[in-house]
Structure 1
Amino acid sequence: MNRQGILGFLFFCVLTAWSASAQPNKQAQLEEKRQSILEEIKQINSLLFKTQGKKKSILTNVEDLNHRIAARENLIKVTNQQANLLTREINENRTKISELQNELEVLKEDYAAMINKSYKSKSQQSRVMFLLSSENFLQAYKRLQYMKQYAKHRKEQGESIKEKTILLEILNKDLTEQKQKKQVLIEENRLAKEKLTSEKKDHQELIASLKKEEGTFSKQIRDKQKEADAIDRQIEEIIRAAIAKSNKESNTTTAVKTSSTTFALTAEAKALAASFMNNKGKLPWPVEKGVVVKRYGKQQHPQLANVTTFNSGVEIATEANAKARAVFNGEVMEIQQLKGANMAVYIQHGSYITVYNNLINITVKKGDKVSTKQNIGTVYTNAATGKTILKFLIYQNRDRMNPADWVFQM
């Protein structure tokens, strides 16, 4: 193989290697996402749809189906992306295989011609005569060098044929595997679409019932919002009181007055707050297993056009008797019996506070130092609905934070 041919082959190998590494990385990311959605659907089915003997309201049924349909649509979208990526990979491999086959054919023809020529002049006597017939020493030397280069070229051609043959076998194997993966994904997508069609049919029937009594259901949602707002005010009053207390204690020991809207922190508390901040997006879930059923912030009801709700934290459906756990090291600031609700545990992490609402059987007390993932109580299960819901909130001083920004993959 000449220098140009070697460089071309090396470039092809590098290009193939780069393409081969880039595509699987993307495919691996999509597969990880698909598995995550499958786990989410599994948890939705387990936590929202296995409340045997419990009669759920139309509103609750609609909300639960909203979660499952959204997850199923997301699954179909990701699976389609995987199948499309595999289609591109298959087409690329087919192109590479075709190019390699053509190159291999040319190499074999060239090699066959070289072998044939070599056979005709293969005798030692012919080679000796070729050297002895030289007109001078310089010509003899050049002929000797030519013979060496010719032999080397033959060897390189043979190695190139071997390398391309191996590469062709690898590409053919990859192509077969890619086709099989694509078929599996297509079948899974078909089943997911069938389930989605059935779920949407049930969903439409429920929505039709909902629309018939829209006024009644809208009032129910607004009444629940008022109850949630009242609980939020109780939580915020506790935080205001804690901030005021920290400032009062600080102002008695220093001449510099501190703000009434932020905690007066010791050096240790400042370091804890900085550590909490550095773990933004990496905090563990406040329950071991769960799915978010109500997200943070203002949201338009998907079926009732005139109804909007606001959630000061996130609501997480979990298993019966699930334990709530601290998401970071800190100190139990308060344990509160909320009016119209169950117990809430407040854990302070410097200037940050995490609140765990709807608990029973609290296992910590005010002033306790707690560590990350330490159990602090049991999440209450509603006897009527069979659901176990933890409401989780994060504050920085008196400012609400979106827990989804802080908790890993929420």
Structure 2
Amino acid sequence: MTSNRDIFRIIVFAALILSTFAFSQNRKQELETRRQELRREIQKISELQAETKSKAQSELSLIEDFNYKITVLNNLIKITNQQANYLTREINANQKKITSLRAELKQLKEDYAAMVVKSYKSKNKQSKVMFLLSSTDFKQAYKRLQYIKQYANHQKQQGETIKAKTVELQNTNQDLLKQREEKERLISENRVTQRTLEATKKQHESLMQSIKKNMSRYTAQIKAKQQEADRIDREIEKIIKAAIARSNKRVGKSESSTSFALTAEEKILASNFVANKGKLPWPVEKGYVKLRYGNQPHPINRSLTIKSNGVRIATEKGAQVRTVFSGEVIGVITLKNVNPLVMVRHGNYITTYKNLSKVYVKEGDKVNTKQVIGEVATNRATNESVLSFVVSKESDTQDPAAWIYKM
């Protein structure tokens, strides 16, 4: 007799199998979703790079593009390999299942054949009647009648089981065929990706060899570019400090404070901004990140450090710039030899949109999520359109990838 403890163990075991299966299916779906995202990313890179082919890109910019494309291609190969490995495990499991089902089906058919033979030998009504009449008493006759019924039901049930197992075996064989086809497709795609990666690496290496011949000139360009970025960042910091001073003066607090004095409405706005962390829309509809947030070695001269307070997004010519959340414009800045930038305040958070060719808002304007505030500038010499985007809490910059959806 099965005890309560045995029943509990069976339930726990079944639950573990189901949860493992569910986890495996979810993991497979996650990998496929990520693989498709990476394929779209490569497509975006190819499309946007095609726009710049009409004019000579700078070597610095090309190196950035190659580095990013190599990273994405490596990630795609890695994800596809993981998918293929999952399929290999599933194929092996299905092959074992098919072997087990065939053995089980063979035994069921043998048992069923034996039953049919036995039933045939005693199928005439007279033998069944004699079997009942030879009973010593009513009780034995009743039991023999029940046995005849049970035997007939068991024979029928055995036939149904054989049908069900046959269907299960057919379905498993079909699943196995699909898995093998899918695995072969993934392997074939990975071969193409690998060839693209190798070609991109060769282009990267060839360009680096050319650059190394004039490393001093490129190093000077890199330093000048970083100095310009630092100058813009200092101006942004001045705007933020001025906005904090105005905010504090309005409520009678110290103007030297480094934090915004928020009204009840601004507190709600800041809270909503934080609640949408990781879900904010991209500041442009189409693009990819060329330069990520934080201090990082320069891809050409690794002894130099890039200080990136935000991200640089390569996009299409004439791309519209959109606010990532509702707020108030606290600055529209135009510096010498620098394209305009717009700063939007969201409570005590600020988003900054740099390198605009056109600006459609002015200081003090209220803006909504995804409202177009300008257009990205296109470099006439290189034909590149790149938006610089910054997220900060007061004057402290933060990684935009943590705020923007799937950045």
TM-score above 0.5:
yes
Residue 242 (structure 1) shift: 0.3
Which amino acid counterpart does residue 176 of structure 2 have in structure 1? Answer: L
Residue 50 (structure 1) shift: 3.0
Partner SS state of residue 56, structure 1: coil
Residue 215 (structure 1) shift: 2.2
How far apart, CA to CA, are the structure 2 residues paired with 1:402 and 1:370?
23
Q: Verify: 1:387 aligned to 2:387, yes or no.
A: no
Give every structure 1 segment of 4 or more consecutive aligned residues whose post-TM-superposition deviation is greater than 3 Å.
10-24, 256-259
How far apart, CA to CA, are the structure 1 residues paired with 2:16 and 2:182?
24
Which amino acid counterpart does residue 349 of structure 1 have in structure 2? Answer: H
How far apart, CA to CA, are the structure 1 residues paired with 2:295 and 2:15?
51
* Gap change, CA 1:19 and 1:302, over 3 Å in 2: same
Residue 119 (structure 1) shift: 1.1
Which amino acid counterpart does residue 337 of structure 2 have in structure 1? Answer: G
Which amino acid counterpart does residue 232 of structure 1 have in structure 2? Answer: D
Asked if structure 2 preserves the Cα contact closer than 8 Å seen for 1:332 and 1:367, the reply is: yes
Which amino acid counterpart does residue 384 of structure 2 have in structure 1? Answer: K
Partner SS state of residue 361, structure 1: strand
Which amino acid counterpart does residue 75 of structure 2 have in structure 1? Answer: N
How far apart, CA to CA, are the structure 2 residues paired with 1:14 and 1:311?
49
Partner SS state of residue 33, structure 2: helix
Larger mean CA deviation between 329-338 and 231-240 belongs to: 329-338
Which amino acid counterpart does residue 267 of structure 1 have in structure 2? Answer: A
How far apart, CA to CA, are the structure 1 residues paired with 2:216 and 2:255?
49
Identity of aligned residues (%): 52
How far apart, CA to CA, are the structure 2 residues paired with 1:265 and 1:68?
43
Asked if structure 2 preserves the Cα contact closer than 8 Å seen for 1:348 and 1:354, the reply is: yes
Which amino acid counterpart does residue 357 of structure 1 have in structure 2? Answer: K
How far apart, CA to CA, are the structure 2 residues paired with 1:18 and 1:267?
46
Partner SS state of residue 355, structure 2: strand
How far apart, CA to CA, are the structure 2 residues paired with 1:121 and 1:16?
45
Residue 174 (structure 1) shift: 0.7
How far apart, CA to CA, are the structure 2 residues paired with 1:224 and 1:310?
11
Q: Verify: 1:72 aligned to 2:69, yes or no.
A: no
Match for residue 192 of structure 1?
Answer: 193
Which amino acid counterpart does residue 339 of structure 2 have in structure 1? Answer: N
How far apart, CA to CA, are the structure 1 residues paired with 2:199 and 2:329?
47
Residue 343 (structure 1) shift: 1.2
How far apart, CA to CA, are the structure 2 residues paired with 1:13 and 1:118?
38
Asked if structure 1 preserves the Cα contact closer than 8 Å seen for 2:390 and 2:400, the reply is: yes
How far apart, CA to CA, are the structure 2 residues paired with 1:11 and 1:153?
30
Residue 259 (structure 1) shift: 7.1
Q: Verify: 1:293 aligned to 2:290, yes or no.
A: yes
Asked if structure 1 preserves the Cα contact closer than 8 Å seen for 2:329 and 2:364, the reply is: yes
Which amino acid counterpart does residue 139 of structure 1 have in structure 2? Answer: Q
Unmatched runs of 5 consecutive residues or more in structure 2: none
Asked if structure 2 preserves the Cα contact closer than 8 Å seen for 1:335 and 1:345, the reply is: yes
Q: Verify: 1:376 aligned to 2:373, yes or no.
A: yes
Asked if structure 1 preserves the Cα contact closer than 8 Å seen for 2:60 and 2:300, the reply is: no
Larger mean CA deviation between 23-32 and 339-348 belongs to: 23-32
Residue 114 (structure 1) shift: 0.8
Residue 223 (structure 1) shift: 1.2
Partner SS state of residue 266, structure 2: helix
Compute the TM-score of the two structures, normalised by the length of structure 1. 0.92
Structure 1 segment 56-95 matched on structure 2, within 5 A:
56-95=57-96
Asked if structure 1 preserves the Cα contact closer than 8 Å seen for 2:357 and 2:375, the reply is: yes
How far apart, CA to CA, are the structure 2 residues paired with 1:340 and 1:351?
30
Structure 1 segment 110-259 matched on structure 2, within 5 A:
110-251=111-252
CA offset digits 1:151-179 (Å, max 9, x no partner)? 22112211111111111111111111111
Count of residue correspondences: 399
* Gap change, CA 1:258 and 1:384, over 3 Å in 2: closer
Q: Verify: 1:409 aligned to 2:406, yes or no.
A: yes
Q: Verify: 1:348 aligned to 2:345, yes or no.
A: yes
How far apart, CA to CA, are the structure 2 residues paired with 1:56 and 1:375?
28
Partner SS state of residue 259, structure 2: coil
Residue 95 (structure 1) shift: 0.7
* Gap change, CA 1:18 and 1:130, over 3 Å in 2: farther
Which amino acid counterpart does residue 377 of structure 2 have in structure 1? Answer: Y
Larger mean CA deviation between 325-334 and 283-292 belongs to: 325-334
Match for residue 266 of structure 1?
Answer: 263
Asked if structure 2 preserves the Cα contact closer than 8 Å seen for 1:314 and 1:392, the reply is: yes
* Gap change, CA 1:259 and 1:162, over 3 Å in 2: farther
Match for residue 317 of structure 2?
Answer: 320
Which amino acid counterpart does residue 403 of structure 1 have in structure 2? Answer: P
Partner SS state of residue 321, structure 1: coil
Residue 18 (structure 1) shift: 6.5
Asked if structure 1 preserves the Cα contact closer than 8 Å seen for 2:359 and 2:373, the reply is: yes
* Gap change, CA 1:111 and 1:258, over 3 Å in 2: farther
Residue 341 (structure 1) shift: 1.2
Unmatched runs of 5 consecutive residues or more in structure 1: none
How far apart, CA to CA, are the structure 2 residues paired with 1:146 and 1:15?
39
